[in-house]
């Protein structure tokens, strides 16, 4: 009778471990996506600043 109990305990631990790994993978993906979004926004802002600086410079000359 001891073996089935140990087996079920091991199975439960395996399930818990899988769930925690799944959560960590999900949060890593979320973090990765957030970083990509932040990098994309930074690029957009940088391009926008370049464009407005260029337009502003041209505007002043005219």
pLDDT for the residue numbered 62: 47
Split into its structural domains, the chain has a count of: 1
pLDDT for the residue numbered 41: 83
**Predicted structure pTM score:** 0.43
pLDDT for the residue numbered 1: 42
pLDDT for the residue numbered 4: 60
Domain membership of residue 15 (yes or no) is yes
Q: Please write the tens of the pLDDT for every residue from 7-61.
A: 788 888 888 888 888 888 888 889 888 988 888 888 888 888 888 877 655 554 4
Q: Is 1 exposed, middle or buried (0-12, 13-18, 19+ CB in 10 A)?
A: exposed
pLDDT for the residue numbered 55: 63
Q: DSSP per residue over 21-34, as a string?
A: HHHHHHHHHHHHHH
Show the domain range for 22: 1-31
Domain membership of residue 45 (yes or no) is no
């Amino acid at each position: 009778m001891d073996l089935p109990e140990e087996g079920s305990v091991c199975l439960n631990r395996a399930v818990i471990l899988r769930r925690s790994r799944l959560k960590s993978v999900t949060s890593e993906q979320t973090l990765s996506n957030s970083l990509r979004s932040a990098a994309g926004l930074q690029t957009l802002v940088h391009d926008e600043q370049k464009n407005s600086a260029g337009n502003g410079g041209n505007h002043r000359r005219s």
